[in-house]
Structures are given as structure tokens and as C-alpha cells.
Amino acid sequence: MDGDFQPLHATDFVLLGLSGRAWLALLLLLALGFFGYVIARRFQILRAAKRPDPRFGEWGQRLGRVLTVFLGQKKMFREPLPGLMHALIFWGFLVYAVRTITLFASGFAPQLDVPVNVWGNLYFVTKDTFALLVSLGCLYWFYQRVVVRKPRLTHSPKALLILGLILLLMVTDLLIDGALIAYEGENPRGGWAYASAATASLLGALGLPSSALKGVYYASWWVHALAILVFLNYLPLGKHFHVITALPNVFFYKTRPQGQMEKLDVEGAFERDETLGLQTIRELSWRDVLDLFSCTECGRCQAECPAYASGKILSPKEIILELRDHAYEEIPLFGKPQEPRDVVPLSVKPEEIWACTTCMACVEACPIEINQLDKILEMRRNQVMMKDEYPEFFVEVFKGLDGRGNPWNLTPDARMEWTKGLDVPVLGELAAQKANPDGGSHDKQPGEEIDYLFWVGCATAFEPRNQRAARSFVQILQKAGVKFAILGEEESCTGDPARRIGHEYLFQIQAERNVETLNRYGVKRIVTMCPHCYNTLKNEYPDFGGHYEVVHHTELIDELIAQGRIQLSKELRKRITYHDSCYLGRYNKVYDPQRRAIDAIPGAQRVEIARSRSKGMCCGAGGGLMWVEEEPGKEVNQLRLQQILEAQPEVLATSCPFCMIMMEDGIKNKGVELESRDIAELVAEAMEDSNAPSRD
């Protein structure tokens, strides 16, 4: 053989009287034609989605997300071993993209194969390595699907077919090069193509004659090529469509704050007779449709969902699949598109969307940035504002918000009950004191003369247990010399419960009312104890002209400790675990201030719950479910409490009034010995000369 090694190619092979090139060209034409047809039909669903969704900006963030989430498979590694096995198959898919191109190109022109040089050799050692690693990944997932049968996975023959095709591609690839090396009697790439060389040795050990080796080569080449074409055309027909759509889905992820819902033109929509929320697939956006196409059915969202874990009907995975199947039925691959039909209750059951706690665990868990929560919230909006259909529990919530500005439906003067015996400034009174005798006012507005407006929040102001936490926080502020004030009776609910339940109109009334009040007083900085208020004031009020620096009370406490403005000297020799609030953690990525505050308490031993930080489980109160009676045996707070008890704490620390209520109810119902304390209560108790409010 000469030094310029030229591999054999299937173009030398004649089949049924036609050359290999002709058959290859015909197969490519048919396969790519059918693939193009299917993609065109799927594109019709994208075109049918009418809701605008501008995502053409923040290019740096988007590219960074592609590098980490798509190429780096970052979110897959939340489960290390399964994540690694999936990543090996994915990275192998990228490596084999070059092999696929050159394989078909060399079928028409042999010289277009990967060259024999340093770069070609480097590619072949990489390819051979991934042939083994991808095979390992396939065998692992065969085991998981056939033997272990993980509950979160969708088990179907389709997944096994795809795994079989991928494994077949790896085996035939090694046989192509292995048969060629055995036929030639030498490896033109030396030790670089080591797996192919090992395959050649195995074929040689079988004592196959040259004609048989040539037959293995041809057969493997054709099987490999056919498997690629079958794989390509099968992708858009099922869950493996994500192989094509995952990249754009990750690239066009949500860059605005995760806790910010889209502002709707409610009055304008009614005037124009437009639909509010998600009623048919026409009310989806093009990015929503990409979500439907991209679901891998891995079930990671389902595994993290507190509603599903507690035995309720909701599965975030099934929500996406139900919407996807609905879209496929209305715009099928073959036949005319059907008339739009309501997705609820035809494809999605009402019970599903009302079981959601809006904790965003599903969104956090999805490895390719699918947003299940947005679809659920849009369906709620449609049910509430267009159909007036929602659980009766919410009637009193809406009544209280509309009439008295709070979901508890209590009178505004009850907001001041917790301040009795405390010297708590009220912003309106400060404004009155600052007024000049002639009716004029000072240059500075009252909101500019304080360090923070303390936004108390309804759950803190009206619930006796949370009132004690508020008193502790006031003690901390006063000890640190922080100038603050409250709105008192002028404070009204931020509207978060109404918005998450689906009543956008009622939310906007609350938002506009509060923004007018805050801006009238010139408020610049706000501190709040409620993560729901925190998220709304920080991320959603800017849409209504409310631009403020918003901090959570645990962030401010952490800052005051770091600055030495409060000293913690009293020991608290207790095992303390911290329960992460969803709206503070996953929504706003605030995880560490609370932990640093606990660590600063002398004698305290902080222990972590197995499910904590971004994987922390919801208490069950979000999305308006604070006011819903759960079915016995399906209480989310009981399930969360069980997880907490596994850490064997003596004290459960919280940073959310909703979490406090839910966890105390759980502790009472379970009858366990466990103290429930807000971070502010723990810090106030540990301060020098502390007169922390009584726990009784």
C-alpha cells in the first residue's frame, strides 16, 4: 500500500444495478424531503402562536447561557451520575456531527474524508473515545429504563428505539474503521484511532478473509448511514425533537427577572374584545411553542414539584405534554389545521393548574430552560378573567383585596395592632410634622429623610405569630440606629396573591394605588419581611412606575451584623436549620444572608436540610394556596416538615411569614418538638441588652 492512504468507500459498491452514489443521493433526497416537510408543519404551530414575546437583546447573557446550560450541561449535573451519562451522549453527538458530515460527503467524493494529519488524528482519538463513552451512556440509560424504571421518566418504546439507534451508530462507526484497518493490514493513524484498532484486532482474530472484511465495511457504512437518516426523521416526531430545538430554547431563555410576570393591558383587551391569558394555542408565544417542542420528558420538573410529591394531580411535565399534544392535534402533520379549541378543560384539567404553588422548582430543574410556570399562570388568568371559573376559596380573597386592600378582609386599622407599645414612626405622621405653618413643605420628601420604608405586608401585620417577628425586627432596626417608618393604615396588599391566582386586573389596581402612595412620599428604599412583597415591589412595580431599592429584612440584618452596628453576644446552643423561601431563593437568588446571620449567633450550630437552596421545597402557601384547604394526606407543608425533621434540628428558622404560618401549622398537626423562629427573632434574642419579644 502507498503512503497516501485512501480508504474504501461505499461508492465503489453496486446495489440492484445502480451505483452507490445514486442510491445515496436518492435516500438523502427522500430523507431530507420528509424532514423538511415535518419541520414546515411544526413551523405552522410557531406561526399560529400570536402572543408577542420580544427576546432579541441581552446577547451576552444569552451566549453565556448557551455555553453553561447547553454546551456545559450545567443543570443536568444537579443529579451527578445521570447528568454525566446524559452529557456524555450529548457531547458525543456534537463530536459525531463532523463524522456524519464527512461520512456522507465521502460517499460522493472519497477525498472529502477526515485527513490524515495532526488535526485529523486528534479528531479520531476524540471520536473513538466518545464512541466508547456514548456506548456507556446508552447502556446506563437502557438499565435505568428497563431495570430500574425511574418514576420520573416517561417509559415508552420510543426512548428505547432512540437509545438503540445511538448505540447502533457507535457500533457501526467502529466497525467501519475497524474493518478498513483489518482489510489494509495497517492503521494509517497509528495509535490515535485506538478503539477502531481494537475493533480491527477483534475482526482479525475471527480470521475473516478480505472479501468478508470488505463486506463488513460496506454493510456497516450503509447501516450507519441509514440509521442517521432514520434518527434525523424520527427527531421531530417525538420527545427527541429537543435535539434540534434545545439550542434556540436555551438561547432565548427568560432574561428578565424570573419573578416578574408580564403586564397585561387588561382594559384595552376588553375594549378590543381580545383574549386574556392562555385559552387556545393561539395565545402562546413562539417561545412557548419552543418549550413544547423541547420537552425531553426527563421528569426532573415533576420530581421537584411539591404538588406532585404530595399526591396531587399536577405534574409540570404533563402540563407541557398536554399542551404539546393539543397543538399537534390542532395542526397535525397530515391534513388541514383544525379550529382553535380551549386547552382547559379539553387537554389540561382545571385541578392541575389550581394545585400549583408557583414555587418555580419546575423551572429551576429543567435542563433546557422550559418555563412550565408561565403557562400555568396564563391559564389561570384566562380562567379567572375570561371565564370567571376558579375555586370558591378565592372568592373571599378577591373580596378582601377589592374592598379592604388585604386578602384577610380585615379593616385597615388592624394593620397597626402589632405596633402597640413600640415607637414605630408612621410616614404620614412624619409628613404632617414636617409641614410648614404656611402649608408649604420642606425640600425633601419624608420618604427621602428615612433610611428605609418598612413594608410590613399583610401576613406580617395581621397574623399574631408573625407580629412577634415584626417586633423583633423593629428592635434590631432601633438598636442599629436605622431610620425607618411604616405606611400604617395607608399600606395595602401588593396584589401578589391576586396576580398569582390569575386576577391581573385586581393586581393592577393594588399596584397603581401603592405606587401612587410610595411616590407621593418620595420613598427610595424599602425593606420588607415578606418575600412575596419583596418580589413584587422589586421586580413587578417598575412596570407601574415604582422604582425602588428593595431589600429583604434578612439582607439588611446580615449587612448590619457585618458593619458591626449590632452585636450578637448571647449564646444559643441549638441545632438550627433554615427553610428556604421560594420567592426569596429561586425567584431572586437570595440564599446566603440568612445563613450568615445564623452562623453569627454564638453557640448556634447550623445544619442543612437535604433539599435546600435552589432545590428547597415549597411550604405550600404560594400561588394563593395559603387560603386553600388541602386534602388530608396531601398537605405540602407536612411533606416539607418531614424533610426538615430528617436534619434533626431543634430550631427551624424561616424568613417568610407565609412559611412561618405553614410550618407552625405542620408542627402543631404533627405534634413534634420543634421551635419555629424567624431570622429576626433569633438575631434579636442574641443581641446585647436584648429585650426580644416573648415567644408566648
Q: Are 104 and 10 in contact (CB under 8 A)?
A: no
Q: Extract the C-alpha cell encoding 352.
A: 392541575
Which alpha helices (H) appear in 444-579, and where do they start and end?
458-462, 464-480, 496-501, 504-520, 531-535, 553-562
Q: Are 270 and 373 in contact (CB under 8 A)?
A: no
Question: Residue 315 and residue 303: Cα distance in Å, rounded?
Answer: 9
Predicted local confidence at residue 228, as pLDDT: 95
For the stretch 347-351, contacts whose Cβ atoms lie closer than 8 Å and that sit 24 or more positions apart, written own/partner, are: 347/322, 347/323, 348/319, 348/322, 348/323, 348/379, 349/313, 350/383, 350/389, 351/312, 351/313, 351/314
Helix, strand, coil fractions of the chain, as percent rounded to 5: 60, 5, 35
Predicted local confidence at residue 677, as pLDDT: 97
| Res 583 pLDDT > 90 | yes
What is the three-class DSSP state of 484? Answer: strand
Predicted local confidence at residue 436, as pLDDT: 57
pLDDT over 70 percentage in the chain: 95
CA-based R_g, the chain, Å: 31
Q: Which residue has the cell 393604615?
A: 489
Rounded to 10 degrees, what is the CA torsion of 117, 123, 125, 127? -150
Predicted local confidence at residue 446, as pLDDT: 82
Cα torsion 622, 628, 631, 635: sign? positive
Other beta carbons within 10 angstroms of residue 678's beta carbon come to 27
Stretch among 146-155, 186-195, 219-228, 634-643 having the lowest mean pLDDT: 186-195
Q: Are 545 and 263 in contact (CB under 8 A)?
A: no
φ/ψ of 332, rounded to 5, equals -75, 170
Residue 695 CB contacts under 8 Å (≥ 6 apart), including other chains: 468, 675, 681
> One-letter amino acid identity for 388?
D
| Res 149 pLDDT > 60 | yes
User: What separation in angstroms does the CA of 513 have from each of 102, 380, 412, 425?
Assistant: 65, 24, 15, 21
Q: Which domains does the chain have, with CATH numbers?
A: 19-47+58-137+166-251 (no CATH), 266-390 (1.10.1060), 406-561 (3.40.50), 567-686 (3.40.50.10700)
| Res 408 pLDDT > 90 | yes
Rounded to 10 degrees, what is the CA torsion of 660, 664, 665, 668? 180
* Mean pLDDT in residue range 171-191: 86
Q: Extract the C-alpha cell encoding 670.
A: 404533627
Q: Are 363 and 488 in contact (CB under 8 A)?
A: no
> One-letter amino acid identity for 184?
E
In 529-667, at which residue ranges do the beta strands (DSSP E only) sit?
549-552, 575-578, 605-607, 651-654
| Res 1 pLDDT > 50 | no
Predicted local confidence at residue 121, as pLDDT: 87
Q: Are 532 and 456 in contact (CB under 8 A)?
A: no
DSSP state of 285: B
Mean pLDDT computed over every residue of the chain: 91
Q: Extract the C-alpha cell encoding 616.
A: 428547597
Q: Give the chain's end-to-end CA distance (angstroms, integer).
A: 93
Predicted local confidence at residue 316, as pLDDT: 97
Half-sphere exposure of 536 (CA within 13 A, CB side): 24
Half-sphere exposure of 619 (CA within 13 A, CB side): 29
Tens of pLDDT, residue by residue over 321-372, are: 999 999 999 999 998 999 999 999 999 999 999 999 999 999 999 999 999 9
Predicted local confidence at residue 8, as pLDDT: 45
* Mean pLDDT in residue range 39-59: 93
DSSP state of 418: G
With 0.75 as the threshold, say if the pTM is over it: yes
Question: Residue 9 and residue 105: Cα distance in Å, rounded?
Answer: 11
Burial class (CB in 10 A: 0-12, 13-18, 19+), 52: exposed
Q: In three state form, how does the secondary structure of 223-279 look?
A: HHHHHHHHHHHHHHHCHHHHHHHHHHHHHCCCCCCCCCCCCCCHHHHHHCCCCCCCC
Predicted local confidence at residue 517, as pLDDT: 97
What's the distance, CA 37 to chain centroid? 32
Tens of pLDDT, residue by residue over 624-674, are: 999 988 888 889 999 999 999 999 999 999 999 999 999 999 999 999 999
Residue 501 CB contacts under 8 Å (≥ 6 apart), including other chains: 380, 384, 390, 394, 397, 398, 623, 624
Buried b (16+ CB within 10 A) or exposed e, 115-149: ebeeebbebbbebbebbbbbbbbbebbeebbeeee
| Res 15 pLDDT > 70 | no
Other beta carbons within 10 angstroms of residue 648's beta carbon come to 10
Instruction: Report which of 475, 454, 470 is spatially closest to residue 418, judged by C-alpha positions.
Output: 470
Question: Residue 510 and residue 492: Cα distance in Å, rounded?
Answer: 7
Burial class (CB in 10 A: 0-12, 13-18, 19+), 437: exposed
Question: Residue 42 and residue 324: Cα distance in Å, rounded?
Answer: 11
Residue 162 CB contacts under 8 Å (≥ 6 apart), including other chains: 231, 234, 240
* Mean pLDDT in residue range 487-503: 97
* Mean pLDDT in residue range 237-248: 92
Predicted local confidence at residue 9, as pLDDT: 44
User: What separation in angstroms does the CA of 395 have from each of 404, 407, 460, 568, 661?
Assistant: 14, 10, 22, 46, 21
Predicted local confidence at residue 16, as pLDDT: 35
User: What separation in angstroms does the CA of 554 have from each of 205, 454, 595, 623, 683?
Assistant: 70, 13, 9, 23, 10
